A and B are shown apart, each in its own frame.
Chain A
Amino acid sequence: MLGDITIGQYYPSDSFLHKLDPRTKIIAILIYMISLFVVNNFYGLLGMLLISILVVMISQIPIKYFFRGLKMILFIVLLTVALQIFMTPGTIVWQWSFLKITEEGIKQAIFMGTRLVLLISITSILTLTTTPIALTDGIEHLLKPFQRIGLPAHELAMMMSIALRFIPTLVEETDKIMKAQAARGANFDSGNIVEKVKALVPLLVPLFLSAFQRADELAIAMEARCYHGGANRTRLKALQYTKRDLFVAGICVCMALLAICSRMI
């Protein structure tokens, strides 16, 4: 029932992106995101779209698999688009009672919709091509400079990776409990809103219970293996920049410069 959620899941492959250092990937994606909001005309946006298509192609992730993950955010995108179309003031092109569509609105809607889709696409590429462990390592390294001002970098990274790691587990668990309750005649799909919310109780109570229990067990298991936070921890696979990373860094700089230049058009 819930097998379609691919956000936060790793897709094993051997592509250029999979081999890239996680730090490079995180920074590159940050630059991409910033560029995405720097560009302010359709040429720029088209450029960003082309880049993300290229990235998806390089990642060797099956298009079908990739889009299934995007389906989840379809609702948010549609809502944004609708709000932009109807709420932006400007030259009116179509009107029906209180609903009116403006030229600026259409432009804004296309812009925001595309930005949102690209934003989610590129971030899901990050999690799809990076194992949770590599991702945490990367985040931890990047946050290290902030440790001096009291940011618990290691703890934050650990929490994040645990959260990511448990998304699929929780999805699986939800699926299981839903089935068990459906076997007892529970109905999650029909009825009005009040009934639907009520129908969630038999799902949420066991789910929370097992999640807390799991958290407890995980904490004990980690302590039993002498885990005590970030100090003096060494790694099995130390991160190392290679030529690949230099290459990507170069591309990112070009992308950022082009994004800024595109504003001048």
Chain B
Amino acid sequence: MSLEMKNVSHIYQKGSAKESYALRDICLNVNEGEFLGIAGHTGSGKSTLIQHFNGLLKPSSGEVIVDGVNINGKEAKNRLKALRMQVGVVFQYPEYQLFEETVEQDIAFGPRNLGLSDSEVQQRVVEAMELLKLSKKLRKKSPFDLSGGQKRRIAIAGVLAMKPKYLILDEPAAGLDPKGREEFLELTAELHRQGLTVVMVSHSMDDIARYAQRLVVLEKGSIKLEGTPQQVFAQPDILSEIGLGVPMLTSLLLELHEKGWDVRTDLFHPEDVKREILRELARRERQGGGV
């Protein structure tokens, strides 16, 4: 079971002077249980791409397949809602979708739309709030009185309460302070560990590199690079050409390498980088001592 895109193209404002390709012939697989990162510059088609996963946008050509069913095909017509629930999409700045009087009611909006019983809905609200580490005290509060970070958690809880199999996050850490950012990324990793398939979209390589098992790099609506983070970051020239660059620590290694240090340049986890630099330092010391 997986999310699959077959030769998907999307054209905005077809037939007018402003016609433009947002996506061009995208073939993409999201395997169950994986953490996929989609990187791309502003306007590369990331947001358009993810809206195809739950049928909010229809491809101009090509197929989007969720668990074996083409979501724009005939057999999906009556099940579009159910299929949509399989794929939870959290948009950029999701806090702008909050509207209910209390946090609890807002989170319950999704599950209630699924037609679940009241007790089941309650159960899911409690679970979703726990999952996002939202204190129980917040339940009866108005979502508009809370901080930005809390609002965002509530919005995401609202999506998770529908128990999607796939969670797609569009720039989940955008606009948060460094601490909130850190917490948030850790949270997505935690959700992934609990068995959710996570697709994270971002233009920040640092954010994506941390947890993604596989990376897809978009440019101008096409897939430019694909592979494990290591494979992708091994091509810093292409990445900087697109304007994305490599994670900060990788670029540190690259610079050291240029200065003549004998270090690997395809690492990005802080621990790995630390070890690599220490190793090289130790080697240089030994050498230096020898002279």
Contact = CB atoms under 8 A, between A and B. Distances in A.
Interface stretch (B11-19, B70-78, B178-186): B11-19
A64 interface: yes
B16 A185 contact: no
A184 B109 contact: yes
Quick one: which of A65, A182, A185, A187 has the most chain B CB within 10 A? A185
A179 B81 CA distance: 13
Nearest to B87: A183
Nearest to B97: A180
Contacts of A181: 97, 109
A100 interface: no
Interface string A174-199: 00110111111111000000000000
Quick one: which of A62, A64, A182 has the most chain B CB within 10 A? A182
B56 A183 contact: yes
B9 interface: no
A65 B96 CA distance: 31
Interface string B80-98: 0100110011110010111
A177 B268 CA distance: 36
A209 B158 CA distance: 19
B96 A210 contact: yes
Contacts of B94: 180
A184 B99 contact: no
Given A184-B109, A185-B113, A186-B113, A179 B91 contact: yes
B114 A201 contact: no
A177 to B, nearest CB: 6
Contact of A62 (B17, B88, B109): B17
Interface string A204-217: 01100110000000
Nearest to A173: B96
Contact of A65 (B16, B54, B162): B16
Chain A interface category by residue count: 20 to 34
B144 interface: yes
Contacts of A206: 96-99
Interface string B132-157: 00000000000010000000000000
Interface residues of B, number: 27
A202 interface: yes
Question: Interface of chain A, helix or strand or loop or mixed?
Answer: helix
Contacts of B113: 184-187
Contacts of B89: 183
A250 interface: no
B56 A182 contact: yes
Contact of A185 (B17, B81, B97, B144): B81
Contacts of A65: 16-17
B13 A3 contact: yes
B159 interface: yes
Given A65-B16, A176-B91, A185 B96 contact: no
B16 A179 contact: no
A187 B109 CA distance: 12
A47 to B, nearest CB: 30
A172 to B, nearest CB: 12
B30 to A, nearest CB: 17
Nearest to B109: A184
A253 to B, nearest CB: 34
B159 A205 contact: no
27 contacts: A62-B17, A64-B15, A65-B16, A65-B17, A177-B96, A179-B51, A179-B91, A180-B96, A180-B97, A181-B109, A183-B89, A183-B90, A184-B110, A184-B113, A184-B158, A184-B162, A185-B81, A185-B85, A185-B109, A185-B113, A185-B162, A186-B113, A187-B81, A201-B99, A202-B99, A202-B109, A209-B144
Given A183-B89, A186-B109, A202-B97, 20 more contacts: A62-B17, A176-B91, A177-B97, A179-B51, A179-B56, A180-B94, A180-B97, A183-B56, A183-B88, A183-B90, A183-B91, A184-B109, A184-B110, A184-B113, A185-B84, A185-B85, A201-B99, A202-B99, A205-B99, A206-B96
